[in-house]
Amino acid sequence: MLVVIQDLVRQTSPGASYRLVLLHGWGADMEDLLPLGEELVNATNIPWELISLRAPHEHPTGQGRQWYGLFPPDWQAVPNAVASLKLRLLGLALNTEIPIEKTFLLGFSQGAAMAISAATELPLAGVVSCSGYPHPEWVPSTTMPPILLTHGLIDEVVPYEAAQELSKLLKAQSGDFVLNSFEGGHTIPLEIIPLISQQIASWLVKN
């Protein structure tokens, strides 16, 4: 069943026991990652609830959305943006029979940074960060969910060094994470999708 409302798109299979939430990048909108999300959930043999959230703020060009101002970066807005996202995620769990512990996040670019920050205090099942970056002064918790980082080696928008910094921070907390790099730029290439699918499948075994 497909439901489209003002701030999200929801596709729910009968008997869904897991949720995948998509967080789009800066200047995109909630439909942007839906094809990827559909491919990932269809690769499993279990029913899912697939949700793509719309960022709360209009992009300065008037097209697309943003989680907070980025060019120039409005880092002071990040704490409130992350707190709001956490409330939305918890609200999704309260309104269905799928708990937050069976919720996965996948974000791209700014959406990935939001996903990683939101996961600091939420008992999520797993996080996929595609071309993401750490927010300034972000520190992972000792209870972080497992994380998959994917990043292009020649990313000119969010340099690969951002993934290396995330890895360094997560490793310092003995975090459960995997970094997969690819020869490419600021994108989610077709060849990385099977790796994402396999990682989600491995997390499902633990849940």
- With 60 as the cut, is the pLDDT of residue 156 above it? yes
The three state secondary structure string of the chain is CEEEECCEEEEECCCCCEEEEEECCCCCCCCCCHHHHHHHHHCCCCCEEEEEECCCEECCCCCCEECCCECCECHHHHHHHHHHHHHHHHHHHHCCCCCHHHEEEEEECHHHHHHHHHCCCCCCCEEEEECCCCCCCCCCCCCCCCEEEEEECCCCCCCCHHHHHHHHHHHHCCCCEEEEEECCCCCCCHHHHHHHHHHHHHHHHHC
Q: How far is CA 166 from the centre of its chain?
A: 14
Q: Rounded distance, CA 60 to CA 71, Å?
A: 9
pLDDT-derived band at 2 (thresholds 50, 70, 90) equals: low
CATH of the domain at 147: 3.40.50.1820
What is the tally of structural domains in the chain? 1
Handedness of CA 144, 135, 33, 121 (dihedral sign): positive
Say if residue 4's pLDDT is above 80. Answer: no
pLDDT digits 0-9 by tens, 73-83 = 999 999 999 99
Percentage of the chain exceeding pLDDT 90: 85
Q: Which residue has the higher pLDDT, 97 or 155?
A: 155
Q: Which of the four pLDDT bands, split at 50, 70 and 90, describes residue 1? A: low
The model's pTM is 0.96
Q: Which domain holds residue 64?
A: 2-206
Q: Is the pLDDT of residue 145 over 80?
A: yes
- Over 90: is that where the pLDDT of 173 sits? no
26-55 pLDDT, tens digit per residue, is 999 999 999 999 999 999 989 999 999 999
Question: What digits encode the pLDDT tens for the residues 67-126?
Answer: 999 989 999 999 999 999 999 999 998 877 899 999 999 999 999 999 999 999 899 999
